[in-house]
Amino acid sequence: MVSTSDREPDVFTAISHPARRRMLDLLIEADRSVNVIAGHFEMSRPAVSQHLRILLDSGLVTEQRHGRERRYHFVPERLGPVRDWISQYERFWDDHLQRLQKLLSKKSEE
Amino acid sequence: MTKTIRREIPIPQPREQVWRAITDSATLAEWMFPNDMEPRVGHQFTFRVPANPKVGFDGMIVHCEVLECEPPSRLAFSWSAGGLVDTRVSFQLEPDGEGTRVLFEHSGFDISESWSEQAFRGAEYGWAKMLGQLPAVVAARNASVRTKQE
């Protein structure tokens, strides 16, 4: 099992496993209990709990008490680092494509 | 979870000129990095991103292979560097009056189980440093390019 980072919960690690991404997909629709979540998977309950623990540690998911059961809640804002990672490449290409435009306009003046 | 960066850029120059700028090694180096690009499918080449000791960036090699090459309308190559494995960069050049409309895509940003945390951190570090070296000149260029387009 991949461990999370020492200093901060790592969102990239949390979403690196297909089962955890499916769990998030389930939680987008509604808050759900561990039993309901486990019902969508063939793996054992402890395995499901272990995946949920990683999601909790990353902050992508919180747990809330509803009477006797706990329900898991998805916090999409925590996906920010993933968006930021992509946006670095967006900036990279924006800069370089502008250089391309500039180069072509310079060459056609020559 | 695959993401794609898409851009549509108007360029006043005709497609042939744009094609040259994206496939001729020397011209390509002027707006990207030193490279050994040749415009033929299957050609493997690299971009050599220079080191910048001032910001602690060791340089970087981007490994590419030409996947599509249809002058003067379509170029695609793979892009592997740091944490990115086999992502895909493509340029579609469409005539637009006297000029060219460039449809740019960088696809295959895949957050999957093949990702290791370390690979990601390496990529994050490298790009952050690399972007750090892009000087304020780019902003000035921006302004002049925009003025030209308007």
Q: Print the SS3 string covering B25-67.
A: HHHHHHHCCCECCCCCCCCEEEEEECCEHHHCECCEEEEEEEE
Q: What is the pLDDT, as a whole number, of residue B92? A: 97
Backbone phi and psi for residue A66, each to the nearest 5 degrees, phi listed first: -125, 95
Q: What is the pLDDT, as a whole number, of residue B83? A: 67
pLDDT tens per residue across span B123-135: 444 444 444 433 3
Q: Do the chains contact at A88 and B13, CB–CB below 8 Å?
A: no
The sign one gets for the Cα dihedral B66, B69, B75, B76 is: negative
Taking the C-alpha atoms of residue B144 and residue B29, their distance in angstroms, rounded to an integer, is 21
Contact of B21 with chain A, judged by CB distance below 8 Å, is answered with yes
Q: What is the DSSP-derived secondary structure letter of residue A5? A: P
Q: What is the pLDDT, as a whole number, of residue B84? A: 77
pLDDT tens per residue across span A6-60: 444 578 888 888 899 899 989 988 899 999 999 999 999 999 999 999 999 999 9
Contact of B146 with chain A, judged by CB distance below 8 Å, is answered with no
Neighbours of B59 (CB within 10 A): 14
Would the pTM of this model clear 0.80, i.e. be above it?
no
Q: What is the pLDDT, as a whole number, of residue B131? A: 41
Q: What is the pLDDT, as a whole number, of residue A9? A: 52
Contact of B4 with chain A, judged by CB distance below 8 Å, is answered with no
pLDDT tens per residue across span B34-85: 999 999 999 999 999 887 777 667 778 999 999 999 999 999 999 998 767 8
Which residues of chain A make contact with B1, given a CB cutoff of 8 A?
15, 21
Instruction: Tell me the Ramachandran region of residue B86: left when phi exceeds 0, alpha when psi lies from -120 to 50, beta otherwise.
Output: left
Residue with the bigger pLDDT between A69 and B145: it is A69
In chain B, what percentage of residues exceed pLDDT 90?
Answer: 51
**In which residue are the tokens 């809330």 written?**
A64
Q: Do the chains contact at A92 and B131, CB–CB below 8 Å?
A: yes
In this structure, are strands B99-110 and B74-81 parallel, antiparallel, or unpaired? unpaired
Weakest-pLDDT range from B58-67, B97-106, B133-142: B133-142
Beta carbons within 8 Å of B121's beta carbon, 6+ residues apart = B83
Q: What is the pLDDT, as a whole number, of residue B135? A: 36
* Closest Cβ opposite residue A91 in set B111, B112, B131: B131
Contact of B32 with chain A, judged by CB distance below 8 Å, is answered with yes
Backbone phi and psi for residue A15, each to the nearest 5 degrees, phi listed first: -95, 10
Q: What is the largest CA-CA distance in chain A?
A: 77
Contact of B30 with chain A, judged by CB distance below 8 Å, is answered with yes
CA nearest neighbour of A60 among A18, A24, A25, A29: A24
* Angstrom distances, CA of residue A88 to CA of A9, B82, B126, B130, B146: 21, 14, 11, 10, 22
Nearest CA distance, A7 vs chain B (angstrom): 13
Which residues of chain A make contact with B21, given a CB cutoff of 8 A?
100, 103-104, 107
